[in-house]
Structures are given as structure tokens and as C-alpha cells.
Amino acid sequence: MSDQVVKCGDKLHVITRRLFADDFRRHFAGEVTAADGSFCQLQGYTFVHNSSTNEFRRRPELRTRIFSFADAIHIVNKLPSQVEISSLEYRFVEKRLVVMDKTGFYLDINEFGLTS
């Protein structure tokens, strides 16, 4: 039996912590295509925060990214297998930022708190 926490086929939502107040707010959602120790390769989409509109926008191109989860720079959420990565979008629901898809899945992004 494998003791690997993250496995091929898992779907993840990754928030990259900002080190400085003016750093870009970047998120990534994708499916694991390879995993080895703390390294994980995901295929999916990048979401970038537009501060002028206060919205997260998905970049249209499918990307493959490699993450190391050995440090505290990433907040990683495991998504249910039925989540449609290509249909994920950010919305405000009851003044809370959530990530949702067309299947009814949503993930409350608590790190951003309430909006005004």
C-alpha cells in the first residue's frame, strides 16, 4: 500500500501565499498527473486576481505546473473527483469568496474573509 498522500488522478486547488502585500494573488486548480514525494505535477488552470475589478479570472490556456508541497507557501485543498476543473469559477456568495463548478460543488475560500 502506498503512503503517498497525493496520487495521480487527484484534483487539487492550490493557493500560493503572498509574501508581500503587492504580490499577485495566484491560484491553480488541476488534476495530478505525477507525484513523487513532496513534488506534484498538475494539469489545469491558473486563476489570477484582478485588483481593479476585485475578481479572479481564469487564464484560458491549459497548463502543466510542478509544485513542491514541502514548504508552507501553498495552501492545498483536495477537490472531489466529480469536480469539473474546466468549469471552475470564483463568485461571491453571501459576502464570501467561493470556488464553484457546474455540478454544484463549491469551496469557501476562508483566507480572504468577508467583503464590504
According to the model, what pLDDT value does residue 93 have?
84
Mean of pLDDT values over 96-116: 76
Mean pLDDT of 95-103: 87
Three-state DSSP string of 34-100? EEECCEEEEEEEEEEEECCCCEEEECCCCEEEEEECCCCCEEEEEECCCCCHHHCEEEEECCEEEEE
Q: What pLDDT digit, counting tens, does each position of 3-20 carry?
A: 778 999 999 999 988 766
Q: Please report, for the chain, the start and end positions of each structural domain, with discontinuous segments joined by +.
A: 11-82
pTM, entire model: 0.86
